[in-house]
Structure 1
Amino acid sequence: MPVSTTLRSSDQQQQRQRQRPALPAFNTERFALVPLDPEKLHELARVLLCDEHLAARLPWMKDKGGDAAAKEAFLLKLQCASGTLDAWGIVERARAMFVGALLARWSLEGIDVEVLCASQFWDHGVADEASEPVLAWLEHRIDAEAMSA
């Protein structure tokens, strides 16, 4: 019986991947949110997770060894490649540089959205501004999927 459940879950995941629309890019007043492929997410996450201040605030990074940033960045890459995670890079347009990433993890319970922002950009409203268009798009996507089910 557990094998059957696992297979169904795997089949649903594969079907979701096939139906997965391309992630859109978004623009806000100060930021461009660009979809990240697994490799680019891996590269950006390795840099962000080396930020000790940021890592200290992430519950899934606490009490991990020195190579935790590399391991967690690789895990994010795998999740992105498997279709359980959507990722956008947050680019500050004025400097044309990445300042963070927005992650949306899909699960049976729903979607968990997380913003990883380099600590030097904290208290500048990055998370609020960057997440607004993505959250609206995710909500629309969930409604559309529910209607088609």
Structure 2
Amino acid sequence: MFEKLCGVMDESQLQLDQSLKDDITEHLQSLEKEVECYFPELSQEQEALARNPFSTEHDVSSIPDEIQDEFLDQRNESSAHDLFKLKSVTQFWCTMYQSYSKVSMIAFRVLVPFASTYLYETGFSTLVNIKTKNRNRLDVGNDMRLALTNFRP
């Protein structure tokens, strides 16, 4: 939208009011903070660990001390390595949670925000569709449950 705004402003040879520029800047900064809440800064090492815990490129010293032993145990377990080859990344980490919960939690911090954000957006869109002017009931819990379920009635 800013490209179109700039194009219109250039064509009409107008300048934006400084207060409008300040409002736009403030709004964009608040959006940036909001996105940072959903997607906190993750180190490259954490992202690499979530993608492939068996890579030889991992620097063990960059992993927190309380997790290093568990990480090394998992890395040296051949059955975990075989499981990693057979399953998807998310399925692998869900399976590993029972045995290696601390290392799995690091991977979950990388993997979960995308899924949870998607679910929130899906729920919000569903609520907007249910809460129309014609269907303005106070209790939408049952309608939401039915709309968001994976089961077919």
Q: Which has the larger radius of gyration?
A: 2
TM-score normalized by the length of structure 2: 0.26
TM-score normalized by the length of structure 1: 0.26
Write 1 or 2 for the structure with the bigger share of helix: 2
Write 1 or 2 for the structure with the bigger share of strand: 1
Higher relative contact order (CA 8 A, sep 6+): 1
